[in-house]
């Protein structure tokens, strides 16, 4: 067995390797397209005529919820950010009061998980 054979099977060389990216990264263009699609979904639902049996708050919630779910699926922006965005939009469009909207985030477990996600 020559020195070259030993070198080829050296365990030290097996440990040295370049790390590969963990997955495909999104380009800035694809993120912008996904955000525009989410905005389009919001505007489409928001400006559609309201069914008689649906309250204004219910329609506004649907207009917020559907684009947020799209953003969660597409991962255009981090999940934690979209969760906070959904809460803020519910307050802006008067779906609920701010105290009721932010109350679930006051739980220590929820805050812990939210900080891990972000």
Domain boundaries, the chain: 27-117
Q: At what angle do helices 56-74 and 28-47 cross, to 10 degrees?
A: 160
| 71 CB-contact burial (10 Å; exposed 0-12 / middle 13-18 / buried 19+) | buried
CB 90 within 8 A of CB 61: yes
- Residues of the chain above pLDDT 90, percent: 37
H helical segments located in the chain: 3-8, 11-15, 28-47, 56-74, 79-92, 98-102, 108-117
pTM for the model: 0.66
- What pLDDT does residue 108 have? 82
> Mean pLDDT throughout 33-53?
94
- What pLDDT does residue 70 have? 95
pLDDT at 116 over 90: no
CB 39 within 8 A of CB 76: no
Confidence of residue 103 (pLDDT cuts 50, 70, 90): confident
Closest CA to 78 of 41, 117, 27: 117
> Mean pLDDT throughout 44-69?
93
The residue ranking higher by pLDDT, 15 or 111, is 111
Look at the block and give the residue holding tokens 């008067």: 94
- What pLDDT does residue 2 have? 57
The residue ranking higher by pLDDT, 110 or 96, is 96
């Amino acid at each position: 067995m020559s020195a070259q054979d030993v070198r080829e099977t050296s365990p030290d060389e097996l440990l040295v390797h370049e790390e590969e990216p963990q997955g495909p990264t999104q380009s800035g263009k694809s993120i912008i397209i996904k955000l525009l699609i989410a905005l389009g979904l919001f505007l489409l639902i928001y400006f559609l005529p309201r069914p008689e049996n649906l309250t204004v708050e219910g329609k506004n919630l649907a207009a917020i919820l559907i684009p947020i779910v799209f953003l969660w699926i597409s991962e255009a922006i981090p999940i934690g950010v979209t969760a906070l965005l959904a809460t803020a939009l519910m307050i802006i469009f008067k779906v609920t009061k701010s105290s009721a909207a932010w109350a679930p985030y006051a739980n220590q477990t929820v805050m812990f998980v939210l900080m891990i996600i972000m």
